[in-house]
A and B are shown apart, each in its own frame.
Chain A
Amino acid sequence: MEQKPFNDISYQAYLKEEKLMGSKCRSCGALFVPPRPICVKCGASEMDWVEMKGQGKLSAFTCIAVGPPFMKQEGYTRDHPYCAGVIQLDEGPRVTARIEDIDTKRPEEIKVGTAMKVKYLHRGEGDRGTTFLAFKPL
């Protein structure tokens, strides 16, 4: 089977299909999400795609009141902050993602270590559409 290149375009295309994919080094077994074309553990370049289960724990987070214009367009303001965070996947690697379905007005109640599962945010239509990786409490 022909492999998609281990790059951000492929990673994004998989997200659009609701698949969280990483690359696994054929030499040393190191796992990378997002995928890497070169293994930074052993230096090898032979990789395989691996799908993640999409579960993990919240390692760090922030509730952003002053976001960039594209988030303002999604309706996020000082009175309606959004959350972004770092998730440690059950498989080991960490990913940065939007965090959904939590009360961003009460950030002090959000706890590092909370179990999370993946959610895909589809924005726009067809070829111009894109999918953002998100997580929500399990």
Chain B
Amino acid sequence: MKRPRKLGRGVALVGVGMSKFGMFRDRDSKDLFAEAFRNMIASVDKGVDPKEIDALYVGNFSNDFFIHQAHWGPIISDLIGHVPKPATRTEGACASSALALREGIFAIASGFYDMILVGGVEEMSKRSTEEVAEGLALATVPYEGKAAFTFPGVFGAVATAYFDRYGASREHLMNVTIKSHNNAALNPRAQIKATIRSMMEAKRRRASEKGLPEPTWQDEKEFLRDQDANPVVAWPMHLFDCCPISDGASCALLVGEEMARQFSDAPLYVVGMGQGSGSGLHAADELTTFQATKYAAEEAYSMSGLKPDDIQFSEVHDCFSIAELIHMEDLGFFKSGEAYKAVEDGATRLDGSKPINTSGGLKCKGHPVGATGVAQLMEVWEQLRGQAGERQLPIKDLRIGAAHNLGGTGGTCTFTIFERR
């Protein structure tokens, strides 16, 4: 980086909305986006006329593969009555809508537009699990695909390298999973709104109702060690290390900073943003770090003048439990090889020193891949505005929150920092 990054004009977030996330037989990308759009409009404190939107950017990874339909920009534009104004699809695998967010920010910062709609959508659940694995694997680098790596496989391999280098184990990954579920149980929008303990109770109840012997797990880790309850997906990634398959959409409204108060009582300002790219496993300098995340963080910190310690909480791309650990290190929240210890000590819990994925993360909130980048803003928005209900962070003067999004095997990573003023 030759000089610190800066925007030519400040940009503010004045509304965010999500659809329900889940596996829906009877819902499609259009009505999911419509739901996210309606929720976004309702979130704008002082109201907004959607006719004022100048352009839209929509992230979508691979509806082309999942439902055999491409070219989602104009489809979404038509859906919300935005035609004939411009609509652009962005693609960056699981970071597709984080790229939409960035394009929206640039469009306003350049002075060309004043109000931009950004969002994302993905419709995955109409395919079998094997087909979803194949579809997502389109975002690996070619050599990983030839080696029959799936995404759980890529992160499973990364986990073996992390274990070998730092002495962590599956038990440490379980701490990440348990924490995600505890947070999600407090998030009405989570796809999996349950603690591991409540899932254990439910399984015991079902066994008892069927007259089968009740499982005798003593605690969450014993449940997670149980091969029947938590089968292998791509060793050492087990079912509970992996985010679910999800359909869903997300939406956010950006305006020029000087206009923010016309629309919002408590707008959030973009104070730092960064994006990086990466080469895939074979060409990465190290297997226990994502170069793209490090670069994105460096840009965002340099633009904001903030340090990792200044980020009061963050959504971190936890497509797999190991990803949360490595990214927390790459973002500078913990030293290399230390994140798993910090999680074990409770640092990343709601009441910890660095709360991570207070929403429940992709693991529990759900991960409709193209929608995720903007959906992460929902949690930042609610926490910073004091609207997170039971999972509201108990931090005095909560001002700075961030979202980190990854696409592919670290091919595209973004980090965006927001401030409430």
Contact = CB atoms under 8 A, between A and B. Distances in A.
A78 interface: yes
B150 A133 contact: no
A66 B129 contact: yes
Which of A60, A82, A113: most chain B Cβ within 10 A? A60
25 contacts: A34-B143, A60-B157, A60-B161, A60-B281, A61-B156, A62-B149, A62-B152, A62-B156, A64-B148, A66-B150, A66-B152, A67-B133, A67-B148, A68-B133, A68-B137, A69-B131, A78-B231, A81-B232, A85-B157, A95-B143, A96-B146, A98-B148, A132-B146, A132-B147, A132-B148
Contacts of B393: none
B282 A64 contact: no
A10 interface: no
Given A64-B149, A96-B146, 19 more contacts: A59-B287, A63-B235, A64-B235, A65-B231, A66-B130, A66-B133, A66-B150, A68-B130, A70-B148, A78-B232, A84-B144, A84-B148, A85-B147, A86-B161, A86-B282, A94-B281, A96-B143, A96-B280, A107-B236
Nearest to A69: B130
Interface residues of B, number: 36
B7 interface: no
Interface in B137-165: 137, 142-144, 146-150, 152-154, 156-158, 160-161, 163-164
A107 B163 CA distance: 13
Contacts of B148: 64, 67-68, 70-71, 82, 84, 98, 132
B235 A86 contact: no
A72 interface: yes
B282 A62 contact: no
Contacts of B303: none
Contact of B157 (A65, A78, A84, A98): A84
Nearest to A85: B157
A61 B164 contact: no
Contacts of A33: 282
Contacts of B153: 62, 64, 84
A112 interface: yes
Interface of B: 129-131, 133-134, 137, 142-144, 146-150, 152-154, 156-158, 160-161, 163-164, 231-237, 280-283, 287
Contact of A93 (B164, B237, B282): B282
Contacts of A115: none
Interface in A44-100: 59-72, 78, 81-82, 84-86, 93-98
Contacts of A101: none
B146 A68 contact: no
A66 B233 contact: yes
A65 B232 contact: yes
A98 B145 CA distance: 10
A72 B158 CA distance: 23
Contacts of A69: 130-131, 134
B8 to A, nearest CB: 31
A65 B158 CA distance: 17
B164 A64 contact: no
Given A62-B153, A64-B152, A95-B282, A133 B161 contact: no
Contacts of B161: 59-60, 86, 112
Contacts of B160: 60-62, 112
Nearest to B238: A65
A65 B234 contact: yes
B287 A60 contact: yes
Contacts of B234: 62-66
Contacts of B146: 96, 132-133
A124 B236 CA distance: 31
A86 B141 CA distance: 13
A72 B150 CA distance: 13
Contact of A97 (B130, B147, B156): B147
Contact of A67 (B150, B157, B158): B150
B156 A133 contact: no
List of 8 A-B pairs having minimum Cβ-Cβ separation, nearest first: A62-B156, A68-B134, A60-B157, A112-B164, A60-B161, A107-B235, A63-B235, A62-B153
A74 to B, nearest CB: 9
